[in-house]
Amino acid sequence: MSFGLVMALMGAAVAASLAGAGSAFGVAIAGKASAGVLAEKPELYGKTLLLQALPGTQGIYGFLVAVLILVKIGLLGGTPVNLTAFDGFAYLAAGIPVGFTGITSGLYQGKAAAASILMTAKDPSLSTRGMIMTALVETYAILGLLVSILIWFAL
The model's pLDDT over 26-75, given as tens digits with 9 standing for 90+, comes to: 999 999 999 999 999 999 999 999 999 999 999 999 999 999 999 999 99
* 95 touches 65 (CB < 8 A): yes
Residue type, 56: G
SS3 state at 141: helix
Average pLDDT over residues 73-90: 90
Q: Is residue 7 a contact partner of residue 92, using CB atoms and an 8 Å limit?
A: yes
**pTM of the predicted model, to two decimals?**
0.92
pLDDT at residue 78, as a whole number:
77
Helices (H) and strands (E) in the chain, counts: 5, 0
Number of independent structural domains in the chain:
1
**Can you give the residue range of the structural domain that contains 53?**
3-154
pLDDT digit string, tens, across residues 112-148: 999 999 999 999 999 999 999 999 999 999 999 999 9
pLDDT at 152: 94
What is the CATH number for 58? 1.20.120.610
